[in-house]
Amino acid sequence: MPAQNLITNNQPRYKKGVVTPYNYNIVEIRNPNVIMWWSAAMPGFGHVMLCKYLKGFILIIWEFAVNVNANINTAIVYTFTGRFDEAIQVVDPKWVLLYMPVYTYAIWDSRRATIDLNKYAILADQSSDSIAEINSIAISAIENNYLDKRKPWLAVFWSVVTPGLGHLYINRLPSGFYLLIWFLVAIWFSNFLPAIHLTFIGEFQQATSILHPQWVLFLPSMYGYAAYSAYVLCENFNKLMEKQQSYFLEEEYQNSSFKEKTNLLTERSGEMNVVASFDHTVYLELAIKELERHGISKENIFTVPLTEKNKPKKNSEIIRGSGFSLLDMTFALATVFSLFGVIYGFVLAGGPIAWGLIGLFFGGGVGFLLDLFIRKKQFKLKKMKGEGGEVVVVIHCKEDRIPLVKEILFDHFTVGLKVIEEKFKVETD
């Protein structure tokens, strides 16, 4: 019976992802070491990046509850500032012994889950029908979500303004809402906002005195994770949009009759071809629908998504992921240096807020330079190959319709186009 259901159900075995009105989930190759790092920064963050919300949320609740009762963050501040006796006195051994096994488990399990999902990501990328079930828009009575290109830098910007807003921008509502809630809890109990005010008016000592070290140490990890996660997820969202649109274009606009009747370099009694290049955006589909509305039939439109630009995934990527992507080190080092800036800001002139910001910018700058160095060869190769044009569209039409076709294509942001004119054609017998 199970085998029969599998045959008749006609569902792809390996799905690439899903889009719902409230969220989206994508199976992508990820670096297990990066996921482990964010689980170490705060247990649960690595799982949430993998869209394992239930387990991630449980681990985050555990982190806040046990860490606060054990006074671990306060003990960290005292330890790194040389106040060892106070660190020993403030920490609660019962809660610490309860904390460590779960902390270790969160790091280990995030790596295990990443490697497991990498296997399915490779299988999904190798399966021709893995993208078929993904809808470009999902609508419910109270929310909607749709596939379109979104800007990763905007996701980072809103995450820096307030952790969680970057996730809301890309419509990852569960993680965005959860980050917002815990951020509000952390800034409330840490007195973070009053300390910012006092820091910017020069009252550094008073700003230091009102900050609660136990709660303020949560903030660097939350800011760093929110910005990095929103950036990476936005890039993955854009990739999903490209793959789904490529599938749609190949299914709808690669009619065999077009190839039979069209020859780009052959004179055809006043008929001509327009070759245009587009990036993957919804404007491409709007342009095609506009052409059809003006009488250019589907049989006279042929699309060629350039899907072979990415090399096939190798099995070795299951364990190591896809290497380091741009800004991995940027956000990681920004988080680390910001954390140490906050810690040592309790004993340095200027206070934790000022030194946290100094650490943020210094660590982020060093990390960005390292990212550029690591990815230098890849950037050069990408530049050599060119940046624009991910879909080629060929429109076959009468010569007198060329101005209309060009107007529609330019109005919908074509990267560039070329009309195959008479002087470039050869006559046939």
> Residue 262 has what pLDDT?
65
> Residue 186 has what pLDDT?
93
H runs (alpha helix) in 129-172: 152-161, 165-169
Mean pLDDT, rounded, for 317-336: 65
Residue 164 has pLDDT above 90, yes or no: yes
Mean pLDDT, rounded, for 323-333: 65
**CA–CA separation, 65 and 346 (whole Å):** 24
Residue 127 has pLDDT above 70, yes or no: yes
pLDDT class of 88 with cuts at 50, 70, 90 = confident
pLDDT class of 376 with cuts at 50, 70, 90 = low
> Residue 347 has what pLDDT?
75
Mean pLDDT, rounded, for 319-334: 64
Whether residue 333 contacts residue 370, with contact meaning beta carbons closer than 8 Å, is answered with: yes
pLDDT tens per residue, range 267-308: 566 778 889 888 888 889 999 999 999 999 888 899 988 876
Bigger pLDDT: 238 or 337? 238
Going by C-alpha positions, the residue among 396, 402, 399 that lies closest to residue 262 is 396
Q: pTM (2 decimals)?
A: 0.79
**Percent of the chain surpassing pLDDT 90:** 34
Mean pLDDT, rounded, for 317-326: 56
Lowest pLDDT segment from 137-151, 234-248, 266-280: 266-280
Q: How many CA atoms lie within 13 A of 93 on its CB side?
A: 2
Whether residue 230 contacts residue 167, with contact meaning beta carbons closer than 8 Å, is answered with: yes
Whether residue 417 contacts residue 275, with contact meaning beta carbons closer than 8 Å, is answered with: yes
**Percent of the chain surpassing pLDDT 70:** 83
Lowest pLDDT segment from 85-89, 275-279, 315-319, 349-353: 315-319
Residue 79 has pLDDT above 50, yes or no: yes
Bigger pLDDT: 220 or 132? 220
> Residue 326 has what pLDDT?
53
pLDDT class of 321 with cuts at 50, 70, 90 = low
Going by C-alpha positions, the residue among 147, 93, 113, 136 that lies closest to residue 38 is 113
Bigger pLDDT: 300 or 323? 300
pLDDT class of 346 with cuts at 50, 70, 90 = confident
> Residue 64 has what pLDDT?
94
Mean pLDDT, rounded, for 181-185: 93
Whether residue 388 contacts residue 300, with contact meaning beta carbons closer than 8 Å, is answered with: no
Q: What is the mean pLDDT of the chain?
A: 82
**CA–CA separation, 245 and 285 (whole Å):** 9
Mean pLDDT, rounded, for 153-168: 92
The burial of 422, by beta-carbon neighbours within 10 Å (0-12 exposed, 13-18 middle, 19 or more buried), is given as exposed
**CA–CA separation, 78 and 68 (whole Å):** 15
End-to-end CA distance of the chain: 61
Whether residue 47 contacts residue 106, with contact meaning beta carbons closer than 8 Å, is answered with: yes
> Residue 386 has what pLDDT?
42
